Amino acid sequence: MTEVAVLDTTLRDGAQGEGICLSVEDKLKITAKLDALGVAYIEGGWPGSNPKDMEYFRRMQKVSLKRAKLVAFSSTRRPGMDPADDVNMKALLASGIKTVTIFGKSWDLHVTQALNTTLEENLSMIFDTVKFLKSKGLEVIYDGEHFFDGYRHNEDYALKTVQAASEAGADWVVLCDTNGGMLPDEVERVVRFIAEKIAVPIGIHAHNDGELAVANSLAAVRAGATMVQGTINGYGERCGNANLSSVIPNLELKMNCPSLPPGRLKLLSEASHYISELANVAHLSQQPFVGLSAFAHKAGIHVSAVAKNPVTYEHIEPDLVGNKRRVLVSELSGLSNLKYKAEELNIKAEFETEQSRRIINHIKELEHMGFQYEGAEASLELLLRKAFEQVEDCFKLESFKVLMEKREDNGIISEAMVKLRVGDEIVHTAAEGNGPVNALDNALRKALEGFYPVIKDIHLTDYKVRVLDEKDATAAKVRVLIETMDAEETWSTVGVSENIIEASWQALIDSMNYVLYKKGNGKLKENVS
């Protein structure tokens, strides 16, 4: 059993990904989440490169991490300069950090064409920088940038660069596949060779340009690397970095290489989703281990087998990484899906019946029309409970009308009028909104709150519209997905129509009916049946 240290560089290398911009507050929150997850090192940024990173390190001086070591990143000294005079070295020391990552050039092409210096001077830059920082009592992680490309073009020189870092006292030497173009067998061969040539522990830093960053990281560990650098969800420049959300569980569950403290692996899925929210990047459903679809089963044959033994279609137990098994009901469903889903929702019913078959056929017809219940499980639960006669709508629509008025001096005003039957009463009300759907939502709430006060505690958190058949242009069907939440949970509902207002209405009333069903119909007036 070999322990592997994880260096998370989401805050530094991951933040270089297109579309990702983390505030100082975001970085502080992510740091706390990574520390709770239990990674060994958190690379926070490059002090001196920008005001945001300087502010982050300044504020982190007042924060005590429970397990992780905070790491500052920088380059080697500049050509022809004493490390003590180099502005980057001064910024590192001013940050108050006790562990640093220093990158240097491994590829002779970069030395002569990017740095415009000599090969010997580059070796001196590596040696002098590491030795200087070690003399200040710091732990030094040396990253050999472009190491594998450099080794491929000039083996002797690439080896000399990491030997210089080792001889200067580096605590770690990390081999970087900066261009992300290596294959696992190449990585394994080179890492094994370097591990035999230097006494310092070896690490791997892989990019994902060939879709092999995870495989290359695991190959490096197999060859002797005991540090893996990467990012949560694989964020990073170009195609991203090695995805720690996949690397960590593969190390722990497949290779018997502990990389987190005992019991922390269960926190992985939650950390992955949390960081994607702060990064304002949609979480990839198909992401292995931590994605929403990682343990989702749709085909009837699969569901039937999983119900008997999950090992038939799952390579690990979802709980190990904090995820959960999901069974989807769709046009591909059979009775196995319906039974599994009903049991999951605690719906008591007979399933080997003609009624169940009619329900499955009805769901397939609805999906053919454009409904999709994979992302709208509140609508699905209502559909099933109504089909099994276990719940009724808490109100009935008599009519609604939506008006829009364009005013030259005040933009567009939307007004909705709604007439509902609630028990024996007819409620007729109107409300304005900043758009037709908002006005309709406001009018619906206004009509229901007097009967069901629980409606006051819910609010819409997301509204998505998808055109189902673009060739029909403005006459195309649309699917509306609405996400609603209260203090306890979040739920999603769906509507489909050629009319976006009608589709929105369907999703809105499902949202209302769902919370009323969950809350036992709220507090209904005594005179309402």
Taking only the tens place, the pLDDT of each residue in 258-283 is 999 999 999 999 999 899 888 988 78
**pLDDT at position 281, please?**
85
**264 plus 349 within the same structural domain:** no
- Count other C-beta atoms under 10 Å from residue 406's C-beta: 8
User: Which band of pLDDT confidence, cut at 50, 70 and 90, is reported for residue 527?
Assistant: very low
Asked whether residue 391 is domain-assigned, the answer is no
Statement to judge: residues 300 and 274 lie in one domain: no
Instruction: Identify which of 379, 377, 371, 421 has the alpha carbon closest to the alpha carbon of residue 400.
Output: 421
Confidence of residue 525 (pLDDT cuts 50, 70, 90): very low
Report pLDDT for 147: 98
Lowest model confidence (mean pLDDT) among 25-29, 334-338, 402-406, 524-528: 524-528
**105 domain residue, yes or no:** yes
Q: Is residue 344 very low, low, confident or very high in pLDDT (cuts 50, 70, 90)?
A: low
In a domain, 62, yes or no: yes
Assess whether pLDDT exceeds 50 at residue 411. Answer: yes
Q: Which two tokens stand for residue 441?
A: 């939502």
**CATH code, 466:** 3.30.160.270
CB contact at 8 A, 190 and 162: no
Q: What is the 3-state secondary structure (H, E, C) of 435-499?
A: CHHHHHHHHHHHHHCCCCHHHHHCEEEEEEEEECCHHHHHHCCEEEEEEEECCCCEEEEEEEECC
Which pLDDT score, from 0 to 100, does residue 345 have? 66
One domain, residues 84 and 193:
yes
Write down the pLDDT at residue 351: 64
- Helix and strand totals (H; E) in the chain: 17, 16
| pLDDT over 90 (residue 123) | yes
pLDDT confidence of residue 93 = 94
Among 278, 304, 334, which residue terminates a domain? 278
Local confidence band at 529 (pLDDT 50, 70, 90 cut-offs): very low
Query: What is the 3-state composition of the chain as percent helix, strand, coil, each rounded to the nearest 5?
Result: 45, 20, 35
Q: 60 and 18, same structural domain?
A: yes
Evaluate whether residue 385 is within a structural domain: no
Domain assignment of residue 458, given as a range? 396-518
Domain end (from 369, 385, 409):
369
Whether residues 32 and 136 fall in one domain: yes
Percent over 90 (pLDDT), the chain: 58
Q: Same domain, yes or no, for 12 and 131?
A: yes
pLDDT at 313: 78
**Each residue of 278-322: pLDDT tens digit?**
898 878 889 999 997 787 776 666 666 776 777 787 899 999 999
480 and 355 co-located in one domain? no
Q: What is the mean pLDDT of residues 214-237?
A: 97
Among candidate residues 252, 278, 304, the one where a domain is terminated: 278
Q: How far is 100 from 92, CA to CA, in rounded Å?
A: 8
Is this prediction's pTM over 0.85? no
Mean pLDDT of the chain: 88
Residue 479 has pLDDT above 90, yes or no: no
In terms of domains, do 42 and 188 share one?
yes
**319, 426: one domain:** no
**Residue 415 is assigned to a structural domain of this protein:** yes
Lowest mean pLDDT, pick from 189-198, 317-326, 408-417, 450-459: 408-417
Of residues 209 and 437, more confidence is placed in: 209
Same domain, 198 and 344: no
β-strand pairing of 411-422 with 425-433: antiparallel
Sheet architecture: strand order including 425-433: 396-407, 411-422, 425-433
Q: How many separate domains does the chain show?
A: 3
Asked if the structure places residue 356 within a domain, the reply is yes
The enclosing domain of 200 has a CATH number of 3.20.20.70
Predicted confidence (pLDDT) per residue in 50-74, tens digit: 889 999 999 999 999 999 999 999 9
Per the domain annotation, does 390 fall within a domain? Answer: no
Residue 66: its pLDDT value, please?
94
Same domain membership, residue 451 and residue 323: no
Indicate the range of 280-284, 369-373, 391-395, 489-493 predicted with least confidence.
369-373
- My answer on whether 404 and 347 are in the same domain is no
465 located within any domain:
yes
Q: Which of 232-241, 302-311, 460-469 has the highest mean pLDDT?
A: 232-241
